[in-house]
Amino acid sequence: MLDQVTATRYVTPLREGGSLPGIVEADDFGTYVVKFRGAGQGLKVLVAEVLVGELARALGLNVPRMTVVDLQAPIAKYEADEEVQDLLTASLGLNLGIDFLPGSFGYDGSRPPAPDTAADIVWLDAFTANVDRTWSNPNLLVWHRNPWLIDHGAALYFHHGWPSRGADPQRFAVQPFDATTHVLRDVASSPGAAHERLSPGITSDLLRRVVDAVPDGWLEQAPGLENPEAVRAAYVDHLLARLANPSAWLPKDRS
């Protein structure tokens, strides 16, 4: 599901991004926004990006293509900016690349998506507990007049709780979702209808394919989750449990 490329040049940091993402060129001549494994947020945000981004794509939403970007030592060595050099040195190995969308701009409400598309996005965020799509941080780009979803690193936050609080799918299954601050809340049609449209597509086969796309080295072990396969299975269990409990998290239709 994810190709792998090798970074050939670090171009520039994206100053807006909290995790110091940067623009990187690769040996396939592609230009990518790279989320670095060595950024403070750790590997779990890369896992959330892949799982939620690929689920969104499978549901028919626009998500820039993602790829695994191998970063090798010479790129870090010749970087002049010390802060960037430290980040690159801490990020040797496999990082996440997101196709750079040239000429895109941040969603400002001037080109709202169709009501059903907006509802599908609200549904995706409620299902994956993504709190990061608000007016202060829309994480939605407009490109060729269409909305494109980015930045799913804050979703699936249950994984930050394992191991100390255990991996308990039932807790995530009933975690409520507050849609009142969602950037698309006022343009979205019925979340209930979106659930009817989308939930049948979230099969265990799809979840399996999506967790298989995550490189083994990003799947941190925890007590009870002692190898990458166990971690993958835990993600599938959590998402299936939540899918079966929409009454706990599905936003209400606006009256």
Ligand X SMILES: Nc1ncnc2c1ncn2[C@@H]1O[C@H](COP(=O)(O)OP(=O)(O)OP(=O)(O)O)[C@@H](O)[C@H]1O
Distance of alpha carbon 162 from alpha carbon 33, whole angstroms = 29
Binders of ligand X: how many residues, by CB under 6 A?
Answer: 20
Q: Give ∠ CA 71-137-67 in degrees, rounded to 5.
A: 25
* Inter-CA distances, 176 with 129, 242, 245, 249, 255, Å: 8, 10, 10, 4, 20
Sorted by sequence, the CB contacts under 8 Å of residue 210 that are 6+ apart come out as: 1, 50, 51, 54, 55, 58
By the rule CB under 6 A, 31 interacts with ligand X: no
46: partner contacted, choices ligand X, Mg ion, none (Cβ within 5-8 A by kind): none
Question: Least distance to ligand X from the beta carbon of 137, Å?
Answer: 5
| DSSP-derived 3-state class of residue 20 | coil
CB 24 within 8 A of CB 35: no
98: partner contacted, choices Mg ion, ligand X, none (Cβ within 5-8 A by kind): ligand X
82-111 residues near ligand X, rule: CB under 6 A: 98-101, 104, 106
Stretch 40-79: interaction string toward ligand X, x if CB under 6 A: ------------------------x---------------
Question: Least distance to ligand X from the beta carbon of 253, Å?
Answer: 29
| DSSP-derived 3-state class of residue 22 | strand
Question: Least distance to ligand X from the beta carbon of 136, Å?
Answer: 10
Stretch 140-179: interaction string toward ligand X, x if CB under 6 A: -x--------xx-x--------------------------
21: partner contacted, choices Mg ion, ligand X, none (Cβ within 5-8 A by kind): ligand X
Distance of alpha carbon 223 from alpha carbon 87, whole angstroms = 29
Distance of alpha carbon 118 from alpha carbon 114, whole angstroms = 6
User: By the criterion CB under 6 A, which residues form the site for ligand X?
Assistant: 14, 16-19, 21, 33, 64, 98-101, 104, 106, 137, 139, 141, 150-151, 153
